[in-house]
Amino acid sequence: MKPRQGRTQRGAALLSAMITVTLVATLAATALWQQWRGVEVEAAERARVQSSWLLNGALDWARLILRIDHSFNVDHLAEPWAVPLAEARLSTFLAASEADTETDRDAFLSGQIVDLQSRLNVRNLVGRQKQELIANLERFERLFSLLQLPRSELGALVDNLRSALDAEAAGITTLPDPLMPQRVSQLVWLGLSPATVQALGPYVTVLPVRTPVNLNTASAQVIHAVVPALSLAQAQQLVTARSQQYFSSVGDAMQRVGAPADAVAGCADWCSVNSRFFEVRARLRLDDVALEEVAWVQRRGARQPVDVLWRQRVPLSLAADAISGPGQR
Task: Answer whether 253's CB lies under 8 Å from 299's CB.
Answer: no
Dihedral (CA of 231, 237, 242, 247) sign: negative
Provide the whole-model pTM: 0.80
pLDDT recorded at residue 326: 37
44-118+276-323 homologous superfamily? GSPII I/J protein-like (3.30.1300.30)
How far the first Cα of the chain sits from its last, in Å, is 93
Segment-wise mean pLDDT, segments of 10 residues, the chain, 329 residues:
58 77 82 77 76 87 86 86 86 55 68 94 82 84 93 90 82 71 90 93 93 94 91 91 90 84 74 94 85 91 83 70 38
Q: Helix 130-146 and helix 151-170: axis angle, to 10°? A: 130
